Structure 1
Amino acid sequence: MATTGNLLRSERERQGWTLQEVSVAIHIKIEYLQALEMDQYDCIPGEVFVKGFIRCYASFLGVSGEPLVSVYKKKGITIDKDNKGLSSMTDVKETRIRKRYTKKKARWVEISLVAGFLIFLVLIIWMR
């Protein structure tokens, strides 16, 4: 049975593309494309990225990515959950949450300052 990597490589070669050209066109590192073609998925940061890269690569070649992802899944290959890709995605999520709360805090500070200034102006006008 052909592997996902073999299918991608044979289609790329049939169309006359080099790995460098594909890498530039779809904005995926050449190392990841090589790993896909050699079915060495542990080099890619996370299973979600593997599936996404397979779909993107297949789409570029003009073939459906879903059958290739199915072939990948049937092989039973899983990526270690302790992979750097997983932890970096968690860091991104935590950063987004922190930014959201920081923005809310800044908004309340702005509202408080404006309200305080308006109260100050009303008091000055009322005292005259």
Structure 2
Amino acid sequence: NCRQLTDLDLPEGLETIEQFAFSKCERLSRIAIPLNCVIGRDDVFYNCPKLTTVDLVGRIHNTVASLHLERWRNEMNEEINRINQVLPTTNADENESTEAIQQWIRSVIRQIGHYKTQHKELLKDATTILELALWKAKMD
């Protein structure tokens, strides 16, 4: 029974949140979820009308901080914060909260993957330029 639960930080090692795990946690207003945690079904947060804040925990902030371009960092921070602006408008009785959280986590993971790929390409290009400069310096 989680009717009195208002705030929850899930452990970083948690892999899955099962069906109905937080169903009818009517006072739950904030939850911190590890980025790599799989949300099992659409009804995980069924009837959680006060759930307005979802935080991603774990190494997500280190990953974002390490992104090469400031624009990427800003975009990722905006995406990470977006759910807390979207979630309050969802209808808890129709499982919209769970669906919104699932979509948001997938979006964050996709964006991180995209930026990591771009980051690797930039590093590869920079390495090539550095190698050419070193080669040229040896020739002079």
Q: State the TM bucket, normalised to the shorter chain.
A: 0.3 to 0.5
Richer in helix (by share): 1
Richer in strand (by share): 2
Q: Which has the larger radius of gyration?
A: 1
